[in-house]
Structure 1
Amino acid sequence: MDSPITRIKGGVGAPRGFRTSAIACGIKNPKKKRLDLALIASDKPCTSAGTFTTNRVKAAPVRFSQTNQRKGSLQAIITNSGNANACTGVHGITDARAMADGVAKPLGLKRSEIGVCSTGVIGLPMPMNRIEPNYSKLIDNLGSKNGTDFAKAIITSDTHHKELAISFDLGGTRVRLGGCVKGAGMICPSMATMLCFITTDAAIPKATLQKAVDEAVEKSFNRITIDGDMSTNDTVLVLANGASGMHPVRRNGPRCRQFRKALDWLMLELARMIVRDGERVTKFVTVKVKGAKTYLDAKKVSEAVCKSQLVKASWNGGDPNWGRVIHAVGYSRARIREELIDILYDGIPACLGGLQAETDMDVLRDIAAQDEFDIEIHLNQGKADYEMYSSDLSPEYVDFNRSEYAYWKQARKDGLV
């Protein structure tokens, strides 16, 4: 970046003019008091931008928020964990609207200015009987120092909350960016199960902000995979309220480019946090494809390797099995020539020209045994590159995901099913 960044505390609550809140409603289990309903609101009108899952099965809050974002800009977001409100039909849309209505009037906003996001179990009706009595408490708790609680309220199978905030100079004005994410399973975003919320007190016109968000998502959340699954609820929402007092940035001007660099950096850091906290993962692997004929070829190769269950299983075992890597390269549908492919682990050759390199296997095993390592795949056919971030596949992941439907028992007690 042109301007050095400084890490600051506060997550999404760090930028000026934003207040956050998080409370426990027992959405998933009324006996547990974990934070599961959260709200973020700006004191000033915002411009907003977002990306949403491209899964054709979309959760009700995704459809609701997508419509509001397309028509105008959001100024507040209500979100919950424990229930995805997905595959819930017309009733799900009604519940999403009700959640927006529950906070809109007290905040002095219109329903169309509220974003709604949900994450959790798919197919269960929302327990609105536990949510609706808590809107007043949620709003009363709004404050500038609750960003971390907001981040904690959105997690599901994550082992910990994930947040980051920074400040940097933008055209002579010190501005702030704050963000948080959730996601540990069903991670293979194709836009962008993950949710990401970002706030900034910079002044960014709506179209300029949307373009910056689209590009940043493509460089970050669209380049991670844990298990190859894409959720019904994936959402990235960014709010900019201009509370820093700066003049709005001009599209493609120097301040715009500077803001994009900061947003790119923040989103990539958050995306990496998701992979490192993947469900029962033990490895964080960066796959770098170099020398492809085209950008699309490089992307195809990277995605094939990162999604291969055989490759991911070998990573879990600390096995530098380059044969599994090259076979994934071969079926990626990219234009490749076997005799030109080189594969390196942390810069050490495992395969040269499509053949076993002379590197001692113990050296490669030591690299693959590390918690983090890089794999470079040189196609030697052009100048296009692509980079992705992935994880291993562990026996514990399978065990963890064997059953989720115990939650239906609670739904029966609530009279929801």
Structure 2
Amino acid sequence: MRIKGFKFASARSFQKKWERDDVALIYSEREAALAGMFTRNRFKAAPVELSMKRVERGRCRAVVVNAGCANACTGEEGLADAEATAEAAASALGVSPEDVLVASTGVIGARLNMKGMRDAMPVLAQGLSPDDLSKVSRAIMTTDTVPKLAFEETDVGGVQCTVAGVTKGAGMIRPNMATMLAFIMTDFKAAPELLAEMLRKAVDVSFHRVNIDGDTSTNDMVLLMANGAAGGPLLERGTTACRNAADAVTKVCADLAKQMVMDGEGATKFIDLRIKGAKNELEARQAAHLISESKLVKTAFFGEDANWGRILAALGRSEASFSPDEVDLFVGDICLVRNGKYQGKAAETDATKVLKNRAFAVTLDLKAGVAEYNVFTSDLSIDYVKINANYRT
């Protein structure tokens, strides 16, 4: 599927000894309005620092993304490398360096192979095609096992518009942002301020709900670009057109977020962990993330063991308000704990059958209020340990 006015390409920049493309280019044929969200990790990578400044301008023409080298904790030299990458891309495209953003993912502490990056820019510019978004999704993979893309079409003020996105992320994943790179492109027309509002709301119900291993990266970045190439008027808040556009952005982000969890490092399970009946959303969110990060809970999911005690023990460490003798716990539709009391072997046997599925829900009802929150998480497998033990080798 094409997004009007956008073109894509990938090439090799030799950041690692991969026999595949490892750098990608996203290019808008016309100036695109821009919004972005970035990691809250204080060790921000050089490309994050540079792109954060350029997002403030609210517009761009291109994004360069490399895999294999994070360009993080590389000091002034790393920042100079990020700027040089943008300059090389701008030169190849015939645009201003200020209109080029950069993103990186990979090993922390290593400098970019700048010869490889510079050599790749003309190749990228010459290879641009409206049909090659899939090449971008493949080039930015690190420990990902599959590329991740999502598309939505919607009516925006009588004009058929497309929202498309790609993401990478399989490990070091915990919100604020979730550890990942994501790039959302659309051909509707919107001001940067409205795009930023759309993106914040979409991220809150998608990428901020992802928790694979509790770690937050130095390189997290989500960008939303809108070039208006589909035609139609500038979006206005409160209109049906604006709601349709925002819904499409949210659907793409949610789709990508779920794909990330399904492809979590070593993951064999997708768990929708739900907290309901909480005093407020803050307490529900804190409890959901704490449980989703529990190594004992996650290994039980991997073992398809309905170990309800681990889930309640994790909840008990949270700051959520509840009475232990009122809490209910469900695995799928099976009630394992009712009013704080174990429901017996038959219920556990039925819950174990649910855990054998690739995807399932776990719900805790705290009966302390009406607030709800859910997190998408995965299990913790033997392969996760192997992948991360050997990541730099």
Please give the TM-score of this superposition, normalised by the length of structure 2: 0.97
Following superposition, which runs of at least 4 residues in structure 1 exceed 6 angstroms of deviation?
Answer: none
* Pairing of 1:90-129 with structure 2 (within 5 A): 90-129=76-115
Q: Secondary structure at the match of 2:320?
A: coil
State the match for 2:257 in structure 1: 271
Partners of 2:271 and 2:378 within 8 A in 1: yes
The equivalent residue for 1:25 is 13
- Which residue number corresponds to residue 395 of structure 1? 382
SS at match of 1:46: strand
- State the aligned residue count: 392
| 1:148 and 2:134 matched | yes
Amino acid at match of 2:149: E
Q: Is the Cα–Cα contact under 8 Å of residues 152 and 251 in structure 2 kept in the other structure?
A: no
Post-superposition offset of 1:193: 3.2
**Which residue in 2 is equivalent to 1:160?**
146
Which residue of the partner structure matches residue 66 of structure 2? 80
Tell me how far apart the structure 2 counterparts of residues 192 and 204 of structure 1 sit (CA, whole Å).
Answer: 25
1:132 — aligned with what?
A: 118
Q: Which amino acid aligns with 1:168?
A: T
SS at match of 2:249: helix
1:254-289 per-residue CA deviation (whole Å, 9 max, x = no partner) reads 221221111111100100000000111111111111
CA distance in 2, matches of 1:228, 1:220: 16
Q: State which of 250, 253, 274 in structure 1 corresponds to 2:239.
A: 253
CA RMSD of aligned residues (A): 1.1
Matched, 1:217 2:203: yes
1:357 aligns with 2:343: yes
- Cα distance in 2 for residues equivalent to 1:49 and 1:382: 35
Aligned-residue offset at 1:192: 3.9
SS in 1 for 2:31: coil
1:378 pairs, out of 365, 372, 383, with: 365
Q: Does 1:46 align with 2:29?
A: no
Partners of 1:129 and 1:245 in 2: CA distance: 40
Q: Distance in 1 between matches of 2:120 and 2:390?
A: 30
Match of 1:62 among 18, 37, 48: 48
**CA drift at 1:311:** 0.4
Contact 1:186 1:228 in 2 (8 A): yes
CA displacement at 1:400 relative to structure 2: 1.6
Residue in structure 2 matching 1:295, options 255, 271, 281: 281
Give the conservation status (yes or no) of the 8 Å contact 1:292–1:379. Answer: yes
Matches of 1:71 and 1:261, distance apart in 2: 25
Could you list the per-position Cα deviations for residues 373-395 of structure 1 after superposition, in whole angstroms to 9, with x for gaps in the alignment? 11011011111110111000011
1:337 CA displacement: 1.3
For 2:267, the equivalent position in structure 1 comes to: 281
Per the alignment, in what secondary structure is the counterpart of residue 74 of structure 1?
Answer: strand
* Aligned with 1:308 (options 262, 278, 294): 294
The CA distance in 2 between the partners of 1:113 and 1:189, in whole Å, is: 28
- Unpaired runs of at least 5, structure 1: 1-8, 407-417
Alignment of 1:223-242 (within 5 A): 223-242=209-228
Counterpart amino acid of residue 167 in structure 2: V
Give the Cα–Cα distance (whole angstroms) in 2 for the partners of residues 164 and 50 of structure 1.
18
Cα drift, residue 67 of structure 1:
0.5
Q: Which position in structure 2 is the counterpart of 1:404?
A: 391
Deviation at 1:77, TM superposition (A): 0.2
CA distance in 2 between partners of 1:399 and 1:78 (Å): 30
Unaligned 5+ segments in structure 2 are none
3-state secondary structure, aligned to 2:124: helix
**What letter corresponds to residue 187 of structure 1 in structure 2?**
I
Identity %: 37
User: Contact conserved, 2:154 with 2:245, CA < 8 A, in 1?
Assistant: no
Aligned partners of 2:58, 2:205: CA distance in 1, in Å? 25
Alpha-carbon separation, structure 2, partners of 1:39 and 1:276: 26
Letter of the 1:344 partner, please give it. Answer: F
Alignment partners' CA distance in 1, 2:132 and 2:155: 25
Q: State whether residues 48 and 209 of structure 1, in contact with CA within 8 Å, keep that contact through their aligned partners in structure 2.
A: yes
SS in 2 for 1:133: helix
1:96-149 Cα deviation digits (max 9, x unpaired): 000000011332322221110000111011111222122111100011111111
**Aligned counterparts of 2:255 and 2:349: Cα–Cα separation in 1:** 32
Cα distance per residue 1:147-203 (max 9 Å; x no partner): 111111000000011111221211211000110000111111213431001100000
One-letter code aligned to 1:394: S
| Cα distance in 2 between the residues matched to 1:193 and 1:124 | 19
TM-score scaled by length of structure 1: 0.92
Alpha-carbon distance in 2 for matches of 1:371, 1:136: 43
Among 282, 303, 306, the residue aligned to 1:317: 303
- SS of 1:157's equivalent in the other structure is coil
Letter in 2 for 1:147: L
The C-alpha deviation readout for 1:220-250, integer Å capped at 9, x for no partner, is: 0010111111110010011100001110110
Moved more, 266-275 or 249-258: 249-258
